[in-house]
Amino acid sequence: MILEGQLRRALARLNPELPAEALEDAWRKLTRLDAPSLLERNRALHRLLIDGVTVKYRRQDGSIAGAQARVIDFADPGANDWLTVNQFTVSHGQHTCRPDVVLFLNGLPVAVIELKNAADENATIWSAWEQLRTYQGQIPAPFNTCAVSVISDGLSARIGALGACKEWYKPWRTVAGQNLAPASVSELQVLR
């Protein structure tokens, strides 16, 4: 579920002072999380994204050095590699899931969006939530690095974190972060 090329290029771009050995150590730690549950893997990876990945490497004099490899450029978000994929298909064992939209940041899936058809009277925002829960149970890989999940029925939209119950999925209230969006604008438009 991780886009290898994008992640390797981001690690090299964000950490030009680190040797290849350290970048490989960061790659390994980001892609091979050893935690028993999806929620624990997600939390561990979140820490790596925020704090950086602690890496070790051998200096030219033979001594061992340590550093924090950055994964995201927080100072300049536009300098990161952003990719949005529609209908991203993931298979694991006998299961296949196809989230409607996956947002990748430097090769890591950080948002999964499930959209239901507004014209389908049986489709609700909560059927989108159930679909995400099914995906998490059957194919957890896209959710290891997922910072947010978005659900929508075409008009209503909610945003939440991995493992959040229905009551913790809330509407996004502002477009630019300054003022609340007018009630005449649909929740989905505000969230976009």
Give the whole-angstrom CA distance, residue 5 versus residue 94: 27
How high is the pLDDT of residue 189? 76
Instruction: Pick out the chain residues at pLDDT < 50.
Output: none
How high is the pLDDT of residue 85? 94
- 18 with 100, same domain: the answer is no
Contact assessment for residue 133 and residue 140, using Cβ atoms and an 8 Å cutoff = no
Last residue of a domain, one of 75, 96, 120: 75
| SS3 readout for 41-91 | HHHHHHHHHHHCEEEEEECCCCCEEEEEECCCCCCCHHHCCEEEEECCCEE
Exposed (0-12), middle (13-18) or buried (19+): which is 180, by Cβ within 10 Å?
A: exposed
Last residue of a domain, one of 43, 59, 75: 75
pTM comes to 0.88
- 46 with 35, same domain: the answer is yes
- 108 with 173, same domain: the answer is yes
- 120 with 88, same domain: the answer is yes
Instruction: Give the structural domain span for 19.
Output: 4-75
- 58 with 85, same domain: the answer is no
Q: What percentage of the chain reaches a pLDDT higher than 70? A: 98
Give the CATH number, domain containing residue 164: 3.90.1570
Contact assessment for residue 170 and residue 129, using Cβ atoms and an 8 Å cutoff = no
- 68 with 89, same domain: the answer is no
- 159 with 98, same domain: the answer is yes
- 35 with 103, same domain: the answer is no
Last residue of a domain, one of 75, 91, 118: 75
How high is the pLDDT of residue 67? 96
Q: What secondary structure does DSSP assign to 129-148, as a single string?
A: HHHHHHHHHH--GGGSS--E
